[in-house]
Amino acid sequence: MNEYTLVIVDMQPCFSAANDPQTLDAIAAEILKAKERRMPIVTLEIDCFSPMQDERNPRTHKRLRKLLEGYSLHRMEEKRFNDGSWAVLYALDRFDVEPRCFRVCGVNTDACILDTVLGLAKKLPKGRIFVVKDACNSSHNRDCWDKFTPPNVFVVSNERRVAFKHN
């Protein structure tokens, strides 16, 4: 049984928050830790902002893709909406992994991360979803941590390694 699945949300250079060096470092550390423990990793990419967009968005940062290269427990999934929970569950089904516990990181905290986490929480009420605050960022500079309210969702800090809930 796997301990957790690492979910990386929209770390594409078209999002200013995805270009932050501290965020990239924190996510790289999450990837290395997950690989060391042989945990599944699902990378989500939003392919475009709207049906009117002429080109698809750029791929996940090359630095992160390089860390994931050749890792057999990694899947890259595209999504068209903020909520990528269905794509995460699809990827785990392809791995034949029962979804129980997740560590989520990436951008944007107030949009795609929030919607993906809430989607996972609703679809898997007995699952546990840990949002790694130190490995998340937002282009919109919105503090939305108080919206991660389902009882099976926890915001955690890598620095303190302590889970906390916002009320």
- The three-state secondary structure class of 3 is coil
Residue 103 has pLDDT above 50, yes or no: yes
Q: Are 129 and 100 in contact (CB under 8 A)?
A: no
112-167 per-position pLDDT tens digit: 999 999 999 999 999 999 999 999 999 886 678 999 999 999 999 875 444 444 43
The ranges assigned to domains in the chain are 5-164
Please tell me the predicted confidence (pLDDT) of residue 98.
84
Thinking of the domain 5-164, which architecture would CATH place it in?
A: 3-Layer(aba) Sandwich (3.40)
Of 1-5, 36-40, 73-77, 85-89, minimum mean pLDDT range: 1-5
31-83 per-position pLDDT tens digit: 999 999 999 999 999 876 555 555 666 789 899 999 999 999 999 999 988 99
Residue 19 has pLDDT above 80, yes or no: yes
Across the chain, how many H-helices and E-strands are there? Answer: 4, 7
Of 21-25, 82-86, 95-99, 161-165, minimum mean pLDDT range: 161-165
- The three-state secondary structure class of 20 is coil
* pLDDT band at residue 1 under the 50/70/90 scheme: very low
Phi, psi of 28 (to 5 degrees): -60, -40
* pLDDT band at residue 21 under the 50/70/90 scheme: very high
Residue 142 is encoded by which pair of tokens? 């919105």
Closest C-alpha to 157, from 167, 147, 145, 149: 145
- pTM for the model: 0.90
